[in-house]
Amino acid sequence: MLGYLGVDVGSVSTNLVVIDDQGKVLVDLYLRTRGQPIQVVQEGLRQVEKAIKGKNIEICGVGTTGSARTLSGVIVGADTVKNEITAHAVAASHILPGVQTVLEIGGQDSKIILLRDGVVVDFAMNTVCAAGTGSFLDHQASRLNIPIEEFGALALESTSPVRIAGRCSVFAESDMVHKQQMGHSLPDIIAGLCDALVRNYLNNVGKGKEILPPVVFQGGVAANVGIRAAFEKALGLEVIVPEYYSVMGAIGAALLAKAATKDKGNTKFRGFVVSELDYQASSFECQGCPNCCEIVNISVDGEILARWGGRCGKWDTLPKTG
Amino acid sequence: MKISFPYMGTSPLVVSYLFENLGHEVVCPPVPTEKTLSLGVQYAPEFACIPFKIVLGTYLEVLEMGAEVLITSGGCGPCRAGFYGELHRRILRDLGYPVEMIIMEPPLREPLDFLRKVYRLLKPAKLSNLYHVFRVAVEKMLSLDEIESTMHKLRPLAYNKKLITKAYSEGLEMIRQADSVKEVKEAKQATLEALWRVPANHEYEPLRVGLIGEIYVVLEPAANHDIERILGDMGVYVHRSIFLSEWVRYNVLGSGEKHIRASAIPYLNQMIGGHGQNSVGEVVRYAEKGFDGVIQLAPFTCIPEIVAKSILPAISRDKDIPVLTLFLDEQTGQAGIETRLEAFVDLIKQKRRKREAS
């Protein structure tokens, strides 16, 4: 059977999926990046290899996305290296043809994508503040000593959510502390936080955008039923969370890899053996001009595989991605 | 007195030539770098815009290089830039640089003040020489703009983008050295030929994107992450709404960019300072010219561009043209810009494909 591998390396999570020729998900993995993108991609490949062992699946295309898309693209040997907005849009319209709005909240960024007739017509990403993202929720959950998995469900128990300033994560936190000290119940505070986060998202990322149904909500934060309920309340629309909501970027990358390899018929995939190679990343500061660019070298067994980070192109050996 | 001035796009080449040949000692400002920006950020108010910070950084650099007099533009609002010269002067004074600032206000607003300053700048020049110097400076400015726009037209088509960069930077050097109208024209011709000689696919029809927004961040690659080059390397043709020669023609010699403002009127019928109304008008014009998309560049906290941004979705809908707004400040990461540009290019590519299919 033909399989296509999608790799999405983000700030918080690294996701890998294998899809078949019809776009059906065969394997899906959600791992924590923990600031070590190379190791986590290798670990992911090891697990994927194990999962497809004996199932006669041949990987004939690989795509990468996410903030470490260039790095992971070099490591696995990607056929496509795509930005996460396109990858998420491709995945959403594959899972739900006719989708018109994609809400995506990940670890460190959040985005909105508008599609009409299957084509992306507008998008936006958060620019100024990270208050509306998964890292902040993670932080608050651990501060309140509640497992992040139960965080959203608690919000649903609330009868009267408190109002929390959601503009900035620092102010939101001090406001939450204040509300706790005042004696509000935990579910009311968490529900208030969900409302604040959604309000912040809609006022910043979603500003001026025409949000039409069907609305799909994906990214790690879509696991949070409290946030989903807050979105439904604020929008007055049903919000659909797809089955593979947390790995949609990787599904998009795999679908793009399938499209990219369809014409040329071969793949640049370096094989599962790369999970055992010794990749090293090193960096130095170029002294060529006062820009002092930080140049990164990626090498395997002492041989430089790729290099980036320079402004003038003097050090670049990598072809630019699109 | 050693004079210097802010760095913006290719203009230092022209301005240096002009002042040197008027008989001044000139400290040519260096290309702004990360260091320039850091210097500016360190001494600027936090919510001043990025042009203020880069220019302040440049001033600190040229003062270290021995500059004594700084020449800059004024303005009469509502954009804050009109006060920047004075604010810069005070910040520099507090830092221990007793610098003299010559702020050129709009000529018609304070004609006497303007003439006095012009007289001061022209004083060391030989009268017989004046016409020649201005003639060459104008020729340099026109040539630089023609070379630059040709470079941006050819970059998306070229197989090896580095050859375009090389031909272009060699061309700038030739223009810098040219010392007569004839030499400038020859340098321009040689550069254009060199650019056209770069192997390219002339059959390829690139996506066309218009670049609009506040003048400094549109003209200065150090402020906009070299966005024209990034897009050009991705195979996208970028048409910039502002070129120095056009700006001078409309704003210094003429009566303003009336045709652009006329296009803005159905959406915004008054001046809101800076390039706000122009930005609105330019989007309408790009849509009418059949461009695939428009990118608005705005300094973070820039009021005119914020107002313009809030109007752009309506134009985008009416005229069916995608618009991407990028706010720029010292916090803006290169990776974030590239992700948005890649996604925007995917968006307009799909849109064109769909249009061609139907």
Could you tell me if A7 and A19 are in contact, meaning their C-beta atoms sit under 8 angstroms apart?
no
Q: Write down the ipTM of this complex.
A: 0.82
* Cβ–Cβ gap A125/B347 under 8 Å: no
A294 interfacial to chain B (CB closer than 8 Å): no
Are A110 and B340 a contacting pair, CB within 8 Å? no
B336 sits in which H/E element? helix B334-357
- Judged by CB atoms closer than 8 Å, whether chains meet at A86 and B34 is answered as no
Residue A316: per-residue pLDDT: 65
Is residue B16 one of the residues assigned to a domain? yes
Q: Does a structural domain hold residue B248?
A: yes
Q: How many domains would you assign to chain B?
A: 3
- The answer on A225 and A115 residing in a single domain is yes
Contacts of A289 in chain B (CB under 8 A): 33
- Percent pLDDT > 90 in chain B is 71
pLDDT in tens, B300-325: 989 999 999 999 999 999 999 999 99
Q: Which among A85, A127, A290 has CB closest to B34?
A: A290
Across the interface, which of A123, A292, A320 has its CB nearest the CB of B34? Answer: A292
What is residue A299's predicted lDDT score, i.e. its pLDDT? 84
Predicted local distance difference test score (pLDDT) of residue B45: 93
Residue, of A144 and B64, whose pLDDT is higher: B64
Residues of B in contact with A119 (CB under 8 A): 347, 350-351, 354
Q: Are residues B326 and B214 in the same domain?
A: yes
Q: Are residues A14 and A263 in contact, defined by beta-carbon separation less than 8 angstroms? A: no
A290/B313 touch (CB, cutoff 8 Å), yes or no: no
Most A CBs within 10 A among B326, B350, B352, B353, hence the mutation to make, goes to: B350
- Do A298 and A264 reside in the same domain of the chain? no
pLDDT of residue B195: 97
The pLDDT tens digits of the residues spanning B12-52 come to 999 999 999 999 999 999 999 989 999 999 999 988 999 99
Residues A226 and A263 in one domain: no
A8 touches chain B (CB under 8 A): no
What pLDDT is recorded for position A317?
A: 57
Range of the domain at B35: 2-125
Cα distances (angstroms) measured from residue A202 to each of A73, A198, A210, A212, B168: 33, 6, 11, 13, 44
Same domain, yes or no, for B197 and B215? no
Q: Distances from the Cα of B105 to the Cαs of B19, B82, B88, in angstroms?
A: 18, 8, 15
Same structural domain, A291 and A320: yes
Residue that wins the pLDDT comparison between A190 and B251: A190
Range of the domain at A60: 2-90+249-276
Please provide residue A58's backbone torsions phi and psi, each rounded to the nearest 5 degrees: -110, 125
pLDDT range class, residue B254, cuts 50, 70, 90: low
Three-state DSSP state, B125: coil
Looking at the structure, tell me whether residues B183 and B218 fall in a common domain: no
The confidence band for B255, taking pLDDT boundaries of 50, 70 and 90, is low
CATH of the domain at B358: 3.40.50.11900
* A133 and A209, same domain (yes or no): yes
Task: Choose the closest CB to B342 out of A122, A291, A322.
Answer: A322
Residues A224 and A283 in one domain: no
Q: Does one domain contain both B52 and B113? A: yes
Reported as a pLDDT band with limits 50, 70 and 90, residue B9 is very high
- Is B311 within a domain? yes
> Does A155 share its domain with A266?
no
Picking from B203, B228, B247, the residue at the C-terminal end of a domain is: B203
In this structure, are A101 and A237 located in the same domain? Answer: yes
Highest mean pLDDT among A174-188, B156-170, B260-274: B156-170
Co-location of B345 and B225 in the same domain = yes
Joined tokens for residue A27 = 């394997």
CA angle B29, B145, B73 (to 5 degrees): 45
Residue B202 pLDDT level (bands cut at 50, 70, 90): very high
- The pLDDT assigned to A321 comes to 43
Residue A131 has a pLDDT of 54
Same domain flag for B174 and B217: no
B308 belongs to a structural domain: yes
B272 and B186 in one domain?
no
B69-109 pLDDT, tens digit per residue, is 999 988 877 888 889 999 999 999 999 998 999 998 888 77
3-state secondary structure of B207: strand
Phi and psi angles of residue A20, each rounded to the nearest 5 degrees, phi first = -95, -175
Task: Indicate the residue among B178, B203, B228 that finishes a domain.
Answer: B203
Assign residue B105 the CATH number of its domain: 3.40.50
- Check residue A319 and give its pLDDT: 46
**Same domain? A200 vs A312:** no
Of B35, B322, B339, the CB nearest to A290: B35
- Are B341 and B312 in contact by the 8 Å Cβ rule? The answer is no
Burial of A12 (0-12, 13-18, 19+ CB in 10 A): middle
Residue B134 lies in a domain: no
If asked whether residues B150 and B246 sit together in one domain, one would say: no
- Among chain B residues, the shortest Cα distance to A111 is held by B340
- B343, part of any domain: yes
E-assigned strand segments in chain B: 2-4, 25-26, 69-73, 100-104, 207-213, 236-240, 293-299, 323-328
Please check whether residues B235 and B155 belong to one and the same domain: no
Q: Look at residue A320 in the predicted model and tell me its pLDDT.
A: 42
- Judge if B211 and B194 occupy the same domain: no
Beta bridge partners of A46: none
Any idea what the CATH number is for the domain that residue A18 is in? Answer: 3.30.420.40
Please check whether residues A269 and A287 belong to one and the same domain.
Answer: no
Decide if B131 is inside a domain: no
**Is residue B102 domain-shared with residue B146, that is, in the same domain?**
no
Q: Which residues of chain A have pLDDT under 50?
A: 318-322
Is B295 among the domain residues? yes
Give the total number of structural domains in chain A. 3
Query: Taking the CB of residue A304, how many other CB atoms lie within 10 A of it?
Result: 12
Average pLDDT over every residue of B331-350: 88
What is the number of CB-based contacts under 8 A between chain A and chain B?
65
Residues B87 and B15 occupy one common structural domain:
yes
- Range 167-206 of A in CB contact (< 8 A) with B: none
Q: How many CA atoms lie within 13 A of A78 on its CB side?
A: 30
Q: Are residues A71 and A117 in the same domain?
A: no
Work out the angle at residue A178's Cα, subtended by the Cα atoms of residues A177 and A179, and round it to the nearest 5 degrees: 90
Residues A155 and A39 in one domain: no
Contact B339 A313 (CB under 8 A): no
- A122 contacts B347? CB cut-off 8 A: yes
